[in-house]
Amino acid sequence: MKPVNTQPGRPSAMPARRGSSPRWALASLSLSTLLASLGASVVTVGLPTLAQAFDAPFQQVQWVVLAYLLAITTLIVSLGRLGDLVGPGKLLLGAIVVFTLASALCGMAPSLWLLIAGRALQGLGAAVMMTLTLALVGETVSKEKTGSAMGLLGTLSAVGTALGPSLGGALISGFGWQALFLINVPLGLLTCVLAWRSLPARQPERSAARPRFDTLGTLLLAITLGAYTLATTLGRGDFGWPNIALSLTAILGGSLFVLAQSRVASPLIPLALLGDRLLVSTLATSALVATVMMATLLVGPFYLSIALGLPTALVGLVLAAGPSVAALAGVPAGRLVDRFGVRPMRLFGLLIMILGCLMLSLMSPTLGVGSYVAAIAVTTLGYALFLTANNTAVMADVPAGKRGVISGLLNLSRNLGFLTGASALGAVFALTVPTNGIAQATPEAVANGLHFTFSVAASLMLLAWVIALKCRDPEPLDERDDIRAQRR
């Protein structure tokens, strides 16, 4: 059965290619999500091995990770908009091919800089895969099942994050660092075949009034986001003059971008979207939540290894608890969203996250590792529920011509939240660390840093809850546009 359109303003789900079904289309979207997530997480465990293999310092090797992150962050909105113009299914299929070829290039790279170039190309493909999988949900499932589909994608993203370090370690031990990238080739080919056979075959409208791609806006946004990303990641914790210069570049680029968007006929991000309360609410809460989740990844290892004295192997095992909870909670969270609605589940998920942050802010090392795992499980459970409801809140009613750019904005808000969390909450944690470095920190100092950091995190989650509380469920996005047009 083809999905039925239940909203007057929402276009019906588009038919997939002959011989396929919405189930197979959703499978291809799930695999795309898994590949993009795995591509980010599987490499981190191999950085020491890469430093030895290429005889390179950490400052150079870290670009294997940064190149992937930079490509995604700077291009994700622009590529989402491009998907709206050329057709999301076609662009996603091309992105899977690019990601697969780039993975092969990385696995055969004879030098570190060619490996970094391959990772940037991988990030280009991953940016499309992360964005258009969300955009295509509305064309593969009915509105009543949107929450379940979003939950499934969240599950596969969490599986990729949780599986990456352990899978990467096994691949390096058995086959060498090249296997970190070559593993994506067969998975990419499988995803490509599924996508080609099952993704919706919608074509962009062909008319004289067809919007043009905003090249200037794309360039300015890429400069802005690239400068911000570098400002928050370079310096290894020291915010010096290069970081200040990059921050000023980001501010200048953002100002020019807004000015350019107000003067072009077909802007990359229509400024009118900023007047949409639901969209602004979802973007703001998404960024705040991502900021807090980054703190769990940043502070957790230090607390476990220094305050609790756990060996490295056990630290890695405990850190996998959060992604594992997210993987298990994704699909049930989607079903709850479908049953009870997005607004109650957004608020409930944020309340659970507040509880988890308060548990972490009151954590005592005397309670052992079990109390930490319990607090992380509560926090991650709330995150899984919030993320599914938040994505569904926007994407369920977005018209086809706007799904790509709005999905890109959702992913961008999350990425910027991760970057901000690493920088801002990392600085909050560093306030409790001795000036001679984290290696000299006492268990008491690290525990105090955990308490201080997650007290701030709980405040951020309370702010996110207030933002979500004040945002009522409005009309579907295309109906809101019609109302504004009638008023004008």
The whole-number pLDDT of residue 15 equals: 46
Query: With 90 as the cut, is the pLDDT of residue 202 above it?
Result: no
> Tens digits of per-residue pLDDT, 406-440?
877 887 888 888 878 877 887 788 777 765 556 67
> For residue 474, with 0-12 CB atoms within 10 Å meaning exposed, 13-18 middle and 19 or more buried, which class applies?
middle
**Rounded to two decimals, what is the model's pTM?**
0.73
Three-state DSSP at 200 gives: strand
Model pLDDT, residue 196 = 85
Q: Is the pLDDT of residue 35 over 80?
A: yes
Provide φ and ψ at 200, rounded to 5°.
Answer: -55, 145
Mean pLDDT to the nearest integer, 5-14: 42
Confidence of residue 2 (pLDDT cuts 50, 70, 90): very low
Q: What is the pLDDT of residue 138?
A: 67
CATH superfamily entry for domain 272-477: MFS general substrate transporter like domains (1.20.1250.20)
Which pLDDT belongs to residue 14?
46
The pLDDT, as a whole number, for residue 396 is 67
pLDDT tens readout for residues 43-73? 877 777 888 888 887 667 878 877 888 888 7
Predicted confidence at residue 5, as pLDDT, reads 40
The pLDDT value recorded for residue 445 is: 86
**What residue ranges do the domains of the chain occupy?**
16-200, 214-265, 272-477
Is the pLDDT assigned to residue 12 strictly greater than 60? no
Higher pLDDT, residue 153 or 468: 468
pLDDT tens, position by position, 296-331: 877 887 888 888 888 867 777 787 788 788 878 878
Among 28-37, 175-184, 388-397, 436-445, which is the least confidently predicted range? 436-445
* Band of residue 204 on the pLDDT scale cut at 50, 70, 90: low
137-147 residue pLDDT tens: 767 766 677 77
Q: Which helix (H) or strand (E) holds 453?
A: helix 443-470
- For the cut 60, the answer to whether the pLDDT of residue 360 exceeds it is yes
pLDDT at 236: 54
Residue 20 has pLDDT above 70, yes or no: no
What is the pLDDT at residue 254?
86
The per-residue pLDDT of the chain, averaged, comes to 79
Q: What is the mean pLDDT of residues 175-204?
A: 82
Same fold? 16-200, 272-477: yes
Question: What pLDDT, on the 0 to 100 scale, is given for residue 339?
Answer: 86
**CA–CA dist 164, 320 (Å, integer):** 10
Residue 154 has pLDDT above 80, yes or no: no
What local confidence, expressed as pLDDT, does residue 210 receive? 58
Compute the average pLDDT of residues 455-474. Answer: 86
Res. 17: pLDDT tops 60: no
Res 133 pLDDT > 90: no
Mean pLDDT over 189-196 rounds to: 88
pLDDT on residue 356: 95
pLDDT attached to residue 201: 58
Give the pLDDT confidence of 251-295 residue by residue, as tens digits: 998 899 888 888 877 777 777 777 778 888 888 999 999 889 888
What's the pLDDT at 435? 52
475 pLDDT exceeds 50?
Answer: no
Q: In the prediction, which pLDDT does 374 show?
A: 94
Select the CATH number that applies to the domain covering 16-200 from these four: 3.40.800.10, 1.20.1250.20, 3.40.50.720, 2.40.50.100: 1.20.1250.20
Looking at per-residue pLDDT, the higher value among 71 and 115 belongs to: 115
pLDDT above 70 (res 174) = yes
pLDDT at residue 208 tops 60 = no
Higher pLDDT, 246 or 23: 246
Judged against a pLDDT cut of 60, whether residue 209 lies above it is answered with no
